[in-house]
Chains A and B, each alone.
Chain A
């Protein structure tokens, strides 16, 4: 089935003003939602108030610019025959961009905030009880973000189909035009990377012995 936005994308990438305008109207809400989600999460991780609309707009514009950079190279890579709608594709690309920008500090929306680690330590001193449960949720949210950052949009769709929606392997292979072996390889690779990321993230937030009192408790069900 042809994606309803395939022709629009073609017109827009040819710099047709009307096409550009319509495509931007389609994509901007997708990008802005991802930016909002990313900023909200970051605010939660850092235990502070929500971001301003302006920060969200800035981030949205950065992602939009990245999509259309080099004459729309990222958008040209979208293939409607490979199981992803344009909006889904852009959503996943936006999630990756937003996560990378916010995590790596390539752009720092809250430059005056103290470092996250010190914030976590202070929070733990005053709010000890629910930390384990919150920590476990946060751990998986962070793993998911990192996967989105590292894995291709197609890979994330396969992740969703296999692990989130628990669809039958035959159906997934058919939708993504791949063999059973390829599907199992994807599953195995995604889980392996998720486990590595869990260890990496936990290591970053695990207390050091010398300052154990003020540190965050390891999350429930720590990796072994």
Chain B
């Protein structure tokens, strides 16, 4: 290949890219909600001075009593919670809201942009990402924790070979009706290491890992009333 052929090929590639990019820009319609959510996240990052969300400071704004034993586990920023660190083979997990939540989720004026704000029947799409690639296959379950008591959430769970967990589903209709604290918890463990006993599994979601082999990523849910 001569220099001229190389240059010609690159020139055509650059022009193809420009054309395709132009088509994409003309056809894309940006969701205003996405702008709002992104802006809130960026603002939070800038205020916290955090290099990346997963390295953010612990969430000291939330009263420890409200979340019981979770104070050490969760560092929450705009729907992002950080998995419990500590010993064990699994890295910490961050929980991020990909889609869903109530309209006020995107409000810049809200006092705490970190919680998931949801209404009865809200559809949520969340992802729990490990701080680093996991070395073996993992499995996961999702829970709704109400006043410290966990119940399985029937969201669809997908797990990648890298250990990333995605959960999508509709929230419980009891959410705005029953007072108290709510949280979404995703329990992750190596395949076969999740407790088989549903109650033991729920306890893990409520209290966090007892043996260092489980990871629980969670974020508070603030129930919104109205349509």
Within 8 A of B (CB), among A14-72: 15, 17, 20-21, 24-25, 28-29, 32-34, 36-37, 40, 54, 57-58, 61, 64-66, 68-72
How near does chain A come to B10, taking the closest CB pair, in angstroms? 6
| A20 lies within 8 A of B10 (CB) | no
A222 on the interface (CB 8 Å rule)? yes
Report the interface size class on chain B: 35 or more
Tally A residues with Cβ within 8 Å of B. Answer: 50
- What are the residues of chain B within 8 A of A71 when measuring CB–CB? 46, 49
B161 on the interface (CB 8 Å rule)? yes
- What are the residues of chain A within 8 A of B7 when measuring CB–CB? 163, 191
- What are the residues of chain B within 8 A of A143 when measuring CB–CB? 9-10, 13
| B51 lies within 8 A of A70 (CB) | yes
B211 on the interface (CB 8 Å rule)? no
Q: Is the interface of A mostly helix, strand, loop or mixed?
A: helix
* Contact A24 B39, CB 8 Å, known A36-B28, A191-B3: yes
17 A-B residue pairings within 8 Å (CB atoms):
A15-B47, A17-B43, A21-B108, A24-B42, A28-B35, A61-B38, A111-B162, A137-B12, A137-B16, A140-B9, A141-B16, A144-B10, A164-B10, A191-B3, A195-B1, A198-B6, A223-B1
Top-8 shortest CB links A-B = A140-B13, A140-B9, A111-B160, A15-B46, A21-B39, A24-B39, A164-B14, A144-B13
Residues of A within 8 A of B (CB): 12-13, 15, 17, 20-21, 24-25, 28-29, 32-34, 36-37, 40, 54, 57-58, 61, 64-66, 68-72, 107-108, 111, 136-137, 139-141, 143-144, 160, 163-164, 166, 191, 194-195, 198, 221-224
